Amino acid sequence: MCTCITLKTKDCYFGRNLDLESTFGEKVIVTPKNYEFTLRHNEKMKTKYAMIGMGTVVDDYPLYADSGNEKGLCMAGLYFPGNAVYFEEKENVMNIASFELIPWCLGNFSSIAELREELNKINITNQTFHENMPVVDLHWMISDKKECIVLEQTKNGLQIYDNPYGILTNNPPFYYHDIHMNNYMNISAKFPTNTFSEDISLQPYGQGIGMMGLPGDVTPTSRFVRAAFYKFNSITDEDEESSISQFFHVLDSVSMIKGSVITKENHYDMTTYSSCMNASKGIYYFKTYYNNQINAVSLNEKNKSGDKLEIYELPQKQHIQYMN
Beta bridge partners of 122: 94
Q: Looking at residue 131, what is its pLDDT? A: 79
Q: Looking at residue 30, what is its pLDDT? A: 98
Q: Looking at residue 132, what is its pLDDT? A: 83
- State yes or no: cis peptide before 172, omega within 30 of 0: yes
Q: Looking at residue 43, what is its pLDDT? A: 80
Mean pLDDT by 10 residues, the chain (324 residues): 95 97 91 94 91 96 97 98 95 94 97 94 93 91 97 96 98 97 94 89 89 94 98 95 97 96 91 97 97 95 90 93 93
| CA pair distance 4, 41, nearest whole angstrom | 29
* 151 φ/ψ angles, rounded to the nearest 5 degrees: -115, 120
8 A C-beta contact, residue 170 and residue 1: yes
Q: Looking at residue 154, what is its pLDDT? A: 97
| CA pair distance 54, 64, nearest whole angstrom | 6
8 A C-beta contact, residue 123 and residue 158: yes
Q: How many CB atoms within 10 Å of residue 206?
A: 5
Nearest to 254 by CA among 277, 236, 271, 232: 271
pTM above 0.85, yes or no: yes
Rg of the Cα trace of the chain? 20
Q: How many CB atoms within 10 Å of residue 267?
A: 12
Catalytic residue among 2, 4, 148, 276: 2
| CA pair distance 45, 47, nearest whole angstrom | 6
- Tell me if residue 4 is catalytic: no
8 A C-beta contact, residue 178 and residue 156: no
